[in-house]
Structure 1
C-alpha cells in the first residue's frame, strides 16, 4: 500500500541553536491512526505544523522531505508554493489546534467560521453549508447547535471552543486529520464521543489521523501506530499494542509510570471533615442574558443553580463535569469575579475561628486582603498571561500591586516560584509566546503562588500538561497544600487527577450538582447515571480495555433520557438527597 504521508529525516531549528526536531521519520497509511506521544516541548507540534507549512517565521527547515500522496502521485509538501498549499489546507489535510481561543477569530460567529471551510473548498451554498455545520455541531456534542452557530468564541467555555475547532477540521471530511491535543479541553464523556466520531469518519471516508497527545488512554483507544518523541528525537516507534504493552525504551516506561489512573481499589476512608471552613457557597445560582439581534428577544441562560458547597481549610474540593455544566461559573463566583443571583451568597473565613466575610459585599480593605489570600489558576494560560510582559514582570506584578517586598526580593521570589514549578530562572527574560502550552500553564501556576495565598481556585490546571509534567504539578500541589496548609477548589474533567488529589468530589451536570461524596465512595459506589458515564468514559492505557461508548452515551445524554428516578427537564430538577452518610445524589424520593 502506498503511504498517504511519509515524513523522512525531518530536521527543524531556530537560528544557530541546536535543532528542536532532529531526523524524525514516520509513515501513515490511509485509514490509519498514528499517535505522536511525548512531553511538552518534545517537537510533536512543530513536526505536525511542518506538514502544512505553518511553522513560525524564525523556524528553519534544515533537512528532510514530507511526501503526500496527491491526485497526480506523491508530492513533497515542503517544496510546494503557497498557492498550492492553500488548496490542500483545510480540504485534503485539516488540523485541530491545541489552543482554540488563539485559532478562532474573535470577530466572527462560530457557525460562519466553520461554514467558511465548505464555501471555500466545496463551493457550497449558504443554506446547505449551514445545515451541514449544524449537523456537525450536534455530532461533536453541542447541546444547542443553533446557539453555538450564533455565538462568538468568547461567549463559549474552553471545551465548547475546542468542539467548534474539531467541527471545523472535520466538516470537509479530509483525507488526513492532524489532531494536536484535540481532547485536552474536553470532559471525558465528550472526549469519548469525539473519539468515537473520529473513528466513525475514518470508517466512512478512509481518513488517516495523526494524533498528538499526552493522554496514553486516548492512544490506547485510537492508535494503530505510536511514535514516542523526546527533545526532538524519536525514542521508540511501533504498533500500539507492542509499545503500550511492553515499552522497550526507558523514556516510554517513564511516561507510563507517570500516567494518572483511577485506583483499582478504593483508598482507606479519609478523616471526617473537621468543620473548619475556609469557603462556603450557599444557594448560589447564576443566570445570564444573551444578546439577540433583529426581532429576536434576549435569551436567558441559567449557568448554575442552587449550588451549596463547603470547602474545609487545608482540604481539596473537586468539581467535576462536562464543559458548560457550570463549573467555571461557580469558581468565578467563589472568587468574586461574578455576582450570584439574588438569594445566593459566598462566605470566606480568613483564619480559623473568625467571622466570615461576604465575598460580594466587601469594603476596599477587605477586597484587597481577600485578593491576596485567594488566587486562581485559569484553564487557558495563553489568554490569562499578557503577551506584552516578560516572565519576570508577570511574576512580580502581583507583588507590586500588593506592595510586597522590594524589587530584589520580588525577583528572588519569582525565581523561587519558577523552580517550584519546574522551570529555569533563565526564562525570566522571555515572553509567554516563547513557551509550549504546558510550560505556559506552569507559569500561570507560579504566578498564582507568588502571593502565597491560603485559597487556590484551580480551573483545569493540568489539562494542557503532558503526563510527566502533570504528575510533577500534582505532586507540587499536594506538597504545597501540606506545607502551607493551602485549600483548593479544584475544577477538572479528569477523574484520574481528581481521584488522586481530592478529599471531596461534586459532580455537576446541566448547572446542578447531581452527586457528591468522597472519592473512595464516589468512584466505587456511583449511583447517578451521569457519574457512571464519567467513570466509564475515562480512557485507560490498555488496548484490551476500550471505552464503552454505549454506557457513556446513556449517562451523558439529556437529563430527560435518564432513568425515571433521576430524570428531569428544564429547571425542574429533583432535590439532592443523602443516600448514606456523606453521599448525596440528586434523585426523586
Structure 2
C-alpha cells in the first residue's frame, strides 16, 4: 500500500479565545497526486494550508490533529517538528504559492534575486547556475522577456506578472509538494492554461504532488484527481474529481456548481445597438513609459497601449479583456486621469446627457475634484488599496469626509448601508482589513467605491479574487446597481464567462493594442482573431471530459509575428482595426 505524502488528520484551528474556525479537517495527498480544496472565501482553505508550513498568525492555536509528511522513507509531524527542520522544509521540500503576491514579494529586491535566493539557500548553487535556472523558469511561466524581469522590482509589474513571479519562486526548487493558494486568480485565461500545463509537466518530471486551493471549478476539472469541498471550516464532501464534479452529493457542492459562471452555449438575443449618449470616450490614446534597467544603461521606451479608441455608452458596460500586461489597467488609469496619455490622445467625459464635455487629460484642480466624485475605481488588489491602519468604518467614510458630504452620523449610516449592499454585516465597521478574507476585502473595495454615488465605475478585475458564489452575488449586485442608478461601467477582466454575462461591448487587447471588438453575442460565437479564439479555448470548464486544448491556446497566445498572415504584425506596426460586419471590428490586413 502506498504511503500518503501528506496526511492531515482531525485538524482543528482557532484564534484567541474564540471557537475553532477549522474543525476536524482530514484528507490525504498521495505522491504525484493533485488534491483540490474547494469552497467559498472564508471557508478555512488557506488557514488549513498555512498550518502545513506552520506559518499561521501568532494568535492562532492548534486545538487538535496531526499533519504527517512522509518523504524519502522518513515521516514527521509538521505540527510538532523543530523550527530548524521547518526552515529546511519550507521552500525546499514543500513550497507555497500565495494568493496575494504583492504581500509576499519584497519591494526592495529585484525579482530575479528573490527567486534565486531559494536555490542559493536550499541547493547551494552558484550565482551563475541559479540565474540560468531562474531565467529558464521565467520562460516556462510565460514571461516573454525573462532578462528584463530578472532586473525588475515587484511594483514595476502588473498583478498577473507578479503572480507569475510567485509561481516561479515556488517551482524553481522542484519541491515534493506544492501548495497553490489560488495560483491563477490574477492570471488571464491563456497564461492560466499555460501555468496549469506547466504544473502538470513538473508533476510528470519530478513526481511532485499538489494541493490546489481554488474556487474555479474549471481549474479543478482540468487539474485534480481528488476534491475536498469545505464550508465554514468543515469538510462537506470528499472524493475522486469525476465523482464529485459529475454527481455532487452534498447540497452545498451543488450550490457552488450552480453559481459558477460559464460562457453560454447558445447566443442570447442581440443587444440594443449603441446610441449617441456617450459618457466616456478614449480617442487615439497611447502611453509610453521610459524605464532604466539599472546601472548606466540607456532609458528604454515601453509602449503600454497604442492608439486605443473606445466609447462607453451611458448606463452600459464596456469590457476590456486581455492577458496580464496587455495594457488594460493602463487604459483604465488614463480614463480616470491617474495617467496622462501621450501627445495627441484625448479622454472625454460627459457627466450627464446635457452636460458639457470634460477633457480628463486637461482638467484644472476644481474640475478634477468634481470628476473624482463622479468616477470611482474598484482595484484589482484590495489589500493594497485598503489602509491596514484604518478601521473599515474610517475607510468607507473617508471619501465622504473629503468631499464634505453629510454629517458624521449620516456618513456612518451610508457606510453601513454600503456594507449591507455588498453582503457584509455593518458590525464589521470596527474591524481592520487584515481580519477579512481576500473575497471579503474585495467586497469592501466595491462598497467604498459606491459611497460617493458615482456615475462611472471603473472595475479593474473586481471579481478575480472571489469564489464563485460570492462572484455571482457581486455580479448580481453590479447589474442591479447599474440598472437602478444608471451607472456606467468600464470593466477590466480576463474572465470571459464574467464578461459574457455583464458586458454590452467587449474589446480584446493584446500587447497594448485592441485586436477585436464586438458585442459579446457576436464575439463569442464568431471570433475572428486567433488571440480571441485562444482566450475562448483557454476558458476552463467544470467537466473532466472537456480539458483545455493547450495547442490551440499556444497558437493564439504566441507572439503576433507567429499568427496567420492576415493578422500578423511586429512591434507597434499594426494593421488597422477593420469593421468586417456591423459592430464587429478586427485588426487585420484586408
TM-score bracket, shorter-length normalisation = over 0.9
Tell me what 2:391 maps to: 390
* Equivalence map 1:161-560=2 (5 Å): 161-560=162-561
CA distance in 2, matches of 1:278, 1:381: 26
SS at match of 1:31: coil
CA distance in 1, matches of 2:429, 2:55: 28
Q: What stretches of structure 1 move > 3 A for 4+ residues in a row? A: none
Tell me what 2:21 maps to: 20
* RMSD over aligned Cα atoms: 0.6
Q: Where do 5+ consecutive residues of structure 1 fail to align?
A: none
CA distance in 2, matches of 1:353, 1:429: 42
Per the TM alignment, residue 362 of structure 1 is displaced from its structure 2 partner at its CA by 1.4
Per the TM alignment, residue 72 of structure 1 is displaced from its structure 2 partner at its CA by 4.8
Report which stretch shifted further, 355-364 or 388-397.
355-364
Native 8 Å contact 2:246 2:543 kept in 1 = yes
SS at match of 1:499: helix
CA distance in 1, matches of 2:143, 2:41: 29
CA distance in 2, matches of 1:487, 1:9: 49
Tell me what 2:154 maps to: 153
Per the TM alignment, residue 532 of structure 1 is displaced from its structure 2 partner at its CA by 0.1
Tell me what 2:105 maps to: 104
CA distance in 1, matches of 2:526, 2:142: 27
CA distance in 1, matches of 2:303, 2:361: 20
SS at match of 1:289: strand
CA distance in 2, matches of 1:193, 1:486: 36
CA distance in 1, matches of 2:290, 2:428: 43
Tell me what 1:561 maps to: 562
CA distance in 2, matches of 1:294, 1:21: 50
Aligned: 1:90 with 2:91: yes
SS at match of 1:221: helix
SS at match of 1:577: strand
Q: Where do 5+ consecutive residues of structure 2 fail to align?
A: none
Per the TM alignment, residue 58 of structure 1 is displaced from its structure 2 partner at its CA by 0.3
> What do residues 507-566 of structure 1 show as CA deviations (whole Å, max 9, x unaligned)?
000100000000000000000000000000000000000000000000000000000100
SS at match of 1:317: strand
SS at match of 1:79: coil
SS at match of 1:565: helix
CA distance in 2, matches of 1:514, 1:280: 18
Native 8 Å contact 2:36 2:212 kept in 1 = yes
SS at match of 2:565: coil
> What do residues 109-157 of structure 1 show as CA deviations (whole Å, max 9, x unaligned)?
0000000000011000001111110010011011111111110000000
Q: How many residues matched?
A: 589
Tell me what 1:120 maps to: 121
SS at match of 1:183: coil
CA distance in 2, matches of 1:514, 1:8: 51
> What do residues 221-252 of structure 1 show as CA deviations (whole Å, max 9, x unaligned)?
00000000000000000000000000000000
SS at match of 2:79: helix
Tell me what 2:76 maps to: 75
CA distance in 2, matches of 1:412, 1:353: 32
Per the TM alignment, residue 377 of structure 1 is displaced from its structure 2 partner at its CA by 0.2
Native 8 Å contact 2:517 2:585 kept in 1 = yes
Q: TM-score, normalized by length of structure 2?
A: 0.99
CA distance in 2, matches of 1:147, 1:496: 33
CA distance in 2, matches of 1:311, 1:140: 34
> What do residues 51-98 of structure 1 show as CA deviations (whole Å, max 9, x unaligned)?
000001000000000000033521100011111100000000000000
Report which stretch shifted further, 258-267 or 287-296.
287-296
Per the TM alignment, residue 583 of structure 1 is displaced from its structure 2 partner at its CA by 0.2
SS at match of 2:525: coil
SS at match of 2:63: strand
Native 8 Å contact 2:148 2:293 kept in 1 = no
> What do residues 296-346 of structure 1 show as CA deviations (whole Å, max 9, x unaligned)?
111110000100000000000000000000000000000000000000010
SS at match of 1:244: helix
CA distance in 2, matches of 1:474, 1:59: 34
